[in-house]
Structure formats: C-alpha cells, structure tokens
Amino acid sequence: MNDWTIIGRSLAARLFSTATAAALVAVAVGLLLVLLMMRDSARKAFERGTGNMHLLVAVDASPLNALLNNVFYAGVPRAPMTEDAVERLKKTPMPAARGMPLGAALEWAIPVQIGDSYKGRPVLATEPEFFTKFQPVEGEPWRLRRGRFFEEDWEVVVGALAAREAGLKVGDEIVLTHGSGDSRAGGGAAAAHVHDEFAYTVVGILEPSGSPHDRALFTNLRSSWMIHAFDRLEREAGGHDHHHDHDHGDFPVCMEDVKPEDRLVTALYLRVAGRPGSGGSALLPTVFDFLRRNPGLVQGQGGDPRATATSFVVAQPSQEITRLMGIVGNIDVIIIGIAACVLVSSAVAIMLAMYNSMDQRRRQIAILRVLGCSRPRVFGLVVTEAVVVGLIGAASGVVVALAGSFLVVEALKNFTGLVIRPEMPWDLAAVVAACAVILSAVAGLAPAALAYRVPVAKNLSPLG
C-alpha cells in the first residue's frame, strides 16, 4: 500500500470533517478572488460609460447620484429641467472667461431624459447627436450590429444586452412604460403606466460597448416630450383615459401639442471645447467652477410633479469615479481582511479536525510503524493529508470565485446598472491558492507532531 492510498483512505474515513475544512478553505479563497476580480473590473466598468463626456449637469441629490442615475441607470433622477432653463444656462456669461457665454465654451451639449422603461430596462431619450458626438468609451464610437440610428419620432435603438435579453430585433413594435416597471408589457410598478397609445419601432441594434448603455434603449427626445404632453392633456381633461381610443400608429398628440413645460430633460452631457485630438481642455476648470458656483441657474423646471428642486449639481465623471472607488476601496480592505481571517480559521479547523482524530488513529499509526513506516514518514503522511485538504479547498475556491463573480455581476447590473466584465487574475489566484496550501500545511504540523510521538507498544495492546 503506497502513501497516497493511505492518505486517501484516511481522508475518506473522516469525510465530514474533511469536507467541512475544505469548504471553509474554498469559501475564503473564493471570497478573496472575487474581490480581486471585481476591484479592477469595477473601475474599468465605470470608465466605460462616461466616455468622452467632460461634465454632467443634473438636478439630483449629489454629483455622484447624478452620475449614477443619468449614466449608469442606477435609479430615476431626482427632478427634470426644462429645455428653456437649459438654453438660459448655455447663454449665461462666465465672468472668469471674460464674459464668454457658457455655450460658446462647449464642443457639444447633449440633453438626455431618463424615466421611461421597457420590461424593466431603462429608456434614454435624447437627440441624434448622442450617437454621432458622444462616445460610450473614449475613442470608441457607437457601432451598429444591424439597422440604423433613429431619425424620426417613435423610433428606438436598442442596446446589445437589452436586445438579447428582451428578444428584440429590427422591425419590432414595442410600447414603453412611464416609470421603471417590470411587467411583460414593460411595466409593473405601482406608479408606472404603459403608454400603449404610442408604438415605437425598433430601427437599430447596437454592438456591445461593455458599458451600462448596453442594457438601455434609446429614443428621440421629441417622442418623450409628446408623451409628456399627452399625460398633461389627460390631467387637464380630468383624468379621462383614452388609452384604447387609438390604434398603434395613430398617435393622439403631435409636436404642436407640446408646451415648454413638457420639454423636460434630466441631464446634460457636456464636452468642453479644446484643441482637436486633445482629450482635455484648458477651459474645463473654468466651466466646472462656473457651474459649481452657480447652481441656481436652472430654476423653474416646469410642471413635472418631481420638479421641486431649484438648483442643479455638476459632476466631473473622473472625480466622482475616483471618489466612489475610494469609498469602495475602504470597504474592500475590510472584506479582504475578513476573507483572510476566514482563511486562517479554515487552517485552524483543519488542525483541530486532524488533532482530535489522533485519539482514534493511534492504533492505525502504531500498525503502520510495525509494518516498517518510520516516524518521519508518519509525520509526512499527516502533513500531506492537511496539504491535500488545502489543495481541494483552493481548487474549489476558484470554482466558487467564478460562480460568485457571475452572481455579483448580475446583482450589480440589476441594482446599479453597472456592467462589469470580470477577469480571473490567474497570477494572483496562484498566490492565494499557494497561501491556502501553505496555511494548511502549517495547520498539519501539530497533529503530525502528535502522530510522531505515538508509542507503538502501548497502542498495540489487545482491544478491550
């Protein structure tokens, strides 16, 4: 009988304690690897979404909230702004720039509106320039898998992930929900209602960008304004429901029905003018400081019931991402510390399980000694058992990490809108696995020392 057979039978005889110790190692290794996978992937994911935007202006609780809600679709923005207020903002002179109007300092300003949804997926209403000027990832413009970008009202372009999950294709007709519902028709929340009077036609499917925009749908801002006008007209008419008075394609409102208070946007994507080919701009600090110091320039947001705030916030995406990563980084340190403690605890569990089993194994060890097994060999067998448990746990931990990362990715996508593509850092995985095995070997030293000192004659006495 060779050493590996002896080790295998010994582990099988203590299957429950072996499996428990290996499971503890697997959980600790898996947790550490998930954190290492997510740490770098999360920052890259946040950078893939803000793209070539320099600043974001919105009415929200904080700059970070504004960024998360209007770019990463984490929630509904706090309040909208009217188009008139946005135009006034762009015409406001900046004293630090010798009275230059804000709009003259911008390469582009793209309004967006978030608030509608389709089967729980966010819908972003914007202008055609969104696809020609804004890039979801710096240096990577939008690309179509099939179809085209929207050109007319009531047309919708679908992100790659949204199209795959919802089974949408070019030519499909869909209806949107006012609010973030999740029913088959695109709704479900108590405050949400389906706009079944307005059928949108899918005209394009986007290529994956690796950004949160992959899970969104995009439509013309004019269409959204007409829906706001329709809702307003219904309220003015005393809440009468005309949802079934019109067939799809027979729209009950047009742009002539849209009033200034219907022309709502939830944010402005801004890029400050700079030298061609340059990612930055000398005017960026001036524009940012001007907007930060004048938060009351968009007062009068219109008739939207959420429009109670009278000031905006301005977010510089790179700064907000750094701030967010700083917060998350502090949490990472704590969780990594907890995972390390679990790893050490698993090593202690291995030691206790093997140490406590020595009383039942004294006769087995004595028989091995009689059969010619030396004390050093017995010592090595026990340490090797501990190493095998560590190896099983480490290998299982890699599987746990891969499964755990999938669950974390899905949770982040559903609750924050963040699309992460985790990659296993195999070099770090090897280091973590090696640490687990070394700790297991160290844990096996105490029971191995006990086995080394087992007296042969005393433990070969007849049983009973």
Residues 200 and 233 in one domain: yes
User: Which residues span the domain enclosing 291?
Assistant: 55-315
Torsion of CA 219, 223, 228, 229, to 10 degrees: 180
Please tell me the distance from the alpha carbon of residue 74 to that of residue 358, in angstroms, as a whole number: 55
Residues 367 and 237 in one domain: no
Residues 158 and 277 in one domain: yes
* Domain finish residue from 278, 299, 315: 315
Residues 310 and 339 in one domain: no
Distance linking the first and last C-alpha atoms of the chain: 28
Domain-located, residue 79: yes
Helices (H), 51-187: 63-70, 83-91, 129-132, 160-166
Residues 82 and 33 in one domain: no
Instruction: Name the residue type at position 401.
Output: A
Residues 228 and 262 in one domain: yes
Residues 291 and 385 in one domain: no
* Domain finish residue from 315, 344, 361: 315
* Domain finish residue from 292, 315, 338: 315
Query: How do residues 139-155 score in pLDDT, each as one tens digit?
Result: 899 999 999 999 999 99
Length of the chain: 464
Residues 228 and 336 in one domain: no
Residues 210 and 147 in one domain: yes
Query: How do residues 154-205 score in pLDDT, each as one tens digit?
Result: 999 999 999 999 999 999 999 998 766 543 334 344 456 787 888 999 999 9
Instruction: Name the residue type at position 34.
Output: V
Judged against a pLDDT cut of 60, whether residue 296 lies above it is answered with: yes
Domain-located, residue 132: yes
Query: How do residues 251-292 score in pLDDT, each as one tens digit?
Result: 788 888 899 889 999 999 999 998 776 667 889 999 999 999
Judged against a pLDDT cut of 60, whether residue 300 lies above it is answered with: no
Other CB atoms within a 10 A radius of the CB of residue 379 amount to 19
Could you give the number of structural domains in the chain?
2
Query: How do residues 206-260 score in pLDDT, each as one tens digit?
Result: 999 888 899 999 999 999 999 989 888 888 887 555 544 444 456 788 888 899 8
Residues 305 and 406 in one domain: no
Mean predicted lDDT score pLDDT of the chain: 82
Please tell me the distance from the alpha carbon of residue 456 to that of residue 464, in angstroms, as a whole number: 17
CA distances from residue 293 to 15, 147, 168, 310 in whole angstroms, order as listed: 67, 44, 45, 14
Domain-located, residue 204: yes
Residues 290 and 242 in one domain: yes
Domain-located, residue 50: no
